[in-house]
Amino acid sequence: DKGLSKTKESFFGKIARVIAGKTKVDDEVLDNLEEILITSDVGVETTLKIIERIEKRAASEKYMNTQELNHILRDEISMLLTENNTDDANDFDAPIAKKPYVIMVVGVNGVGKTTTIGKLAYQFKKAGKSVYLGAADTFRAAAVEQLVIWGERVGVPVIKQKMGSDPASVAFDTLKSAMANDADVVIIDTAGRLHNKVGLMNELTKIKNVMKKINPDVPNEVLLVLDGSTGQNAFEQAKQFTLATEVTAMAVTKLDGTAKGGVVIGISDQFKIPVKYIGLGEGMEDLQVFNRREFVDSLFG
C-alpha cells in the first residue's frame, strides 16, 4: 500500500474517535489530541505549539464543534508547513540555471540515502536532464555497489574510486567529469557515520571545499535524508547533521510503511529547513516532491 494511508488511518482515525460525540473542545479533547500528535511523532515542542494555538482559538470561539476542530487543526498544520516549505512541485522539470546543479546527500546509513539518490537520478533523467552520481561513501563497499546498481538501473554514470579512497577526491572527480560532459545535475553520496561527530563535520567540510575549488557556488543543495519511520531518531539525526554542516533541504523516506508521518510536521517546524522530497516506497517512482497542500489533503482526506 503506497502513500500516506497508514498515517492517515492512524492519525486522523484517532482524532475522529476522540472528537466523536463531543460538542465542544474541552480539556479532555485537548489532552487526547496532544497524545495523538505526540504518538504520531509530531514532536513535543511542535505538539505543544499546536495545542496552545487550538486552545486559544477554542477559548475565543467558545463552542467549537468537532468539524471546526478538524478544520482548525488542518489550518494549524498547514501553517507550520507553509512557514518553511515552498509549493514548487515542478522541481525536476524546472530549467537548471547554474549547470551542473550539485546536490550533496547526507544522512545516517540505512535511512534510504542510496535509494533516494537513485530515485532523484531517475526523476531528473525522466525530465530530460543528464545526471552524474558520485560514490563518495568510500567507507562501505555495499554503498558503492548499491549506487552502481542504481546507476545502471536508471542509466546514469557513477563515478567511483577504490574502497577507502578520499571521499573528497571522488566528489572532485565527479564534478570534473560532469562538467567535461556538460551534465545538468550532480548527486554526491556521502558516508553517514554519526558516532564520530568531528570526523563527520570534517569530512563533509572537506568534500564541500574541494568542490568549491572548481566552482565556489557548489554544492547548490545539501540534502539530509531522514527515515520517517524512526520517529525521535530522525529528530536527533537532524540535530546532529545541522550542527555538522549547513543542511539546505530534507528528504523524509519510508512514509509508506509508517503511521508516524507526523515527523514531517515536527521536523519542518523545528529545523526551519524545507522538506523537499518524501519517499513512499522502494521503487524508482516512489519519490515525490513534497507539496504542503497535497500532504495536508492526503492526511485529512
The CB-of-184 to ligand GDP minimum distance in angstroms stands at 23
Nearer to ligand GDP, 50 or 226 (CB): 226
Grid coordinates belonging to 135: 560514490
Pick one of 41, 76, 184, 256: the residue that binds ligand GDP (CB under 6 A): 256
Pick one of 7, 46, 85, 115: the residue that binds ligand GDP (CB under 6 A): 115
- Interaction of residue 111 with ligand GDP, rule CB under 6 A: yes
Question: Under DSSP, is residue 276 helix (H, G, I), strand (E, B) or coil?
Answer: strand
* Omega cis (within 30) before 274: no
Nearer to ligand GDP, 230 or 253 (CB): 253
Yes or no: say if 251 and 274 are a contact pair by the CB < 8 Å rule. Answer: no
Q: Which of 210, 188, 204 is nearest to 101 (CA)?
A: 188
Does 39 belong to an annotated binding site? Answer: no
Grid coordinates belonging to 196: 564520530
- Interaction of residue 110 with ligand GDP, rule CB under 6 A: yes
- Interaction of residue 260 with ligand GDP, rule CB under 6 A: no
Nearer to ligand GDP, 110 or 199 (CB): 110
- Interaction of residue 151 with ligand GDP, rule CB under 6 A: no
Does 248 belong to an annotated binding site? Answer: no
- Interaction of residue 253 with ligand GDP, rule CB under 6 A: yes
- Interaction of residue 268 with ligand GDP, rule CB under 6 A: no
CA distances from 221 to 114, 118, 123, 243, 276 (A): 16, 16, 16, 16, 11
Question: Under DSSP, is residue 288 helix (H, G, I), strand (E, B) or coil?
Answer: strand
The one-letter code for the residue type at 75 is D
- Interaction of residue 254 with ligand GDP, rule CB under 6 A: yes
CA–CA separation, 248 and 262 (whole Å): 21
Helix (H) or strand (E) holding 109: none
- Interaction of residue 274 with ligand GDP, rule CB under 6 A: no
- Interaction of residue 261 with ligand GDP, rule CB under 6 A: no
CA distances from 225 to 84, 92, 102, 131, 251 (A): 17, 18, 16, 19, 5
CA–CA separation, 226 and 237 (whole Å): 8
Nearer to ligand GDP, 183 or 287 (CB): 287
Does 44 belong to an annotated binding site? Answer: no
- Beta strand residue intervals within 151-243, DSSP E: 158-159, 185-190, 221-227
Grid coordinates belonging to 121: 537520478
The CB-of-15 to ligand GDP minimum distance in angstroms stands at 25
- Interaction of residue 113 with ligand GDP, rule CB under 6 A: yes
Grid coordinates belonging to 141: 563497499
The CB-of-215 to ligand GDP minimum distance in angstroms stands at 26
- Interaction of residue 109 with ligand GDP, rule CB under 6 A: yes
- Interaction of residue 282 with ligand GDP, rule CB under 6 A: yes
Q: Which residue has the cell 574502497?
A: 163
Does 228 belong to an annotated binding site? Answer: no
- Edge-to-edge strands, sheet with 287-289: 158-159, 131-136, 185-190, 101-106, 221-227, 249-253, 275-279, 287-289
Does 109 belong to an annotated binding site? Answer: yes
Does 193 belong to an annotated binding site? Answer: yes
- Interaction of residue 146 with ligand GDP, rule CB under 6 A: yes
User: Can you give the binding site for ligand GDP, defined by CB under 6 A?
Assistant: 107, 109-115, 146, 253-254, 256-257, 279-282, 286
Q: Which residues are annotated as a binding site?
A: 107-114, 189-193, 253-256
Q: Which residues are annotated as a binding site for GTP?
A: 107-114, 189-193, 253-256
